[in-house]
Structure 1
Amino acid sequence: MRQKLLYLFIFLLPFTLMAQDIDRIKVNGKVKAPVGEDIEGVSIYNISSQQGTITKENGTFELEVAENDRVAITALQFSTFTVIVDKGVIDSRNMGIYLNPVVNQLDEVIVRPYDLSGNIIADVGRVKTIEIESKLNLSYETLNFDYEFADDQYSAIRGNAAHDAFHNGQEQYGGDILGLVAGVFSLIVSKKEVKTTVKEQNDEIELVGRGLRQRFGNDFVISNFDIPAHLVNDFLYYVEENGMQREYLKGNNEIVLLDFVHQKSIEYNKQREEN
């Protein structure tokens, strides 16, 4: 049995080394779309290398790829689709992606054949968005002062008829010893629970921080999010403290994570300019 496993390992070793030794080159890319379509913030994610980037305001991006790599393109207003990097992209070191919205909703995205210059045309279905218009003013002030709600089966019971009957309608004074003891006990337990929760939160923050720095190196943050070199660490702390969740670090949430960090970079740079 051991010999069989050894032979299998020796047989698979060259393929493993080949997969690890794939040489990727950096290509310049640009996403284009009809006038009026937003081409900033489109996620370009290399599934094969598990690295990605986001388009700038003019739709340009840089990405390291190899021939036959699978690249996923995700835009909020269009259907997500995947393209295969071909020889034309590698030879020209350019990847032009034209998003062609279609009138009819497509069951799948149609990617037209590439040309020798690395250009890709994709007929993509537009993602439907829903705008909710509420005719009700649901502010705190309106709900408390402007609207009147009738009692129903979920309304609280006003008064306590059994209590009033037992005490002949007289108010009872004096301390509720059992209630007082229970209250003190609950406070003690609450403090212990809070201590545990704080420790867990600190562990969670530390774990998320390490994961974030493993995914986004200094060079990547500087070149893709327009963050100055001396502020990279401060920016990553900003991301941690403003909505970063552990779930974003999972493998199937790479695009979600990339988009989240991109949005935070916009917020961070805006605050930096205002200050």
Structure 2
Amino acid sequence: MRNEIYLKVIALLLLTISPLIAQENIQLSGNVSAPHLEGASIHIINSTQKTGTVNSVSGSYKILVRENDELLFSSVQYKNVNVIITSEIISKGVLNVVLEEDLNVLAEVNISNINLTGDIAKDIANMEVVDLPVNINFGDVKNITFEADINDPAEAPRNRAFESNTIMQPGVNIMGLPGAISDLLGIKKKTPVRVYKGPVRTSSEQLRQLFQEDFFVNTLELEKDYIEDFIFYAEDQGLSILLENSNKLVLIEFLMEKSKKYKMQLSQN
């Protein structure tokens, strides 16, 4: 009887502890392979936990994950790959990924409205030729009207629509008409009202609201005393523009790239 009670207690403890163990981060390692990978940076981003890393020169990587996390393998010259972390991947602790090149193929561009055959004699014969009078001078050529309405390449095209307009005569300042009409009707121009949008937050405040200190220390591998200095450095590299216009994944890639250059500068000083 006592042994049966012990077994029930142990089973209950296992059922309670197992979900907690499943929620703990484990270090997942693996290798990224792709054509022409030498020197290319592949960003491995945990989209669920908002953390990330990059591959080494050999293509290997390490990152903390939990079950059901989503990993994004991203690079400019390769197609993105998304992987959901399963219990099988967790048990193995290894995930190898193969990337495919992202080829940007341009559509066919027609740079001429003449179908050329390659035979110079035939191509010249198929071209439209305009016959001109034999006894002509420069003034005669200038006064000839072509389909493009441009007689002299050095002059601007003639505006035939304006020339045929009998209402608008030379000397009338049409740009001043709206202002004159407003003055006659007694309409006053509205003074633009400046709207107060609240205090402007610094880049440091915005970043610290988006990311906790662990992101700077563990993911970017920065010492706490250098976090603010790094933010000032990143601001000179265009951080403020990214904070306004980019999504969080683009911002993470930017911070990871700039942190590597920042640490390289620190090591040289």
TM-score w.r.t. length of structure 1: 0.48
Which one has the largest radius of gyration? 2
TM-score w.r.t. length of structure 2: 0.49
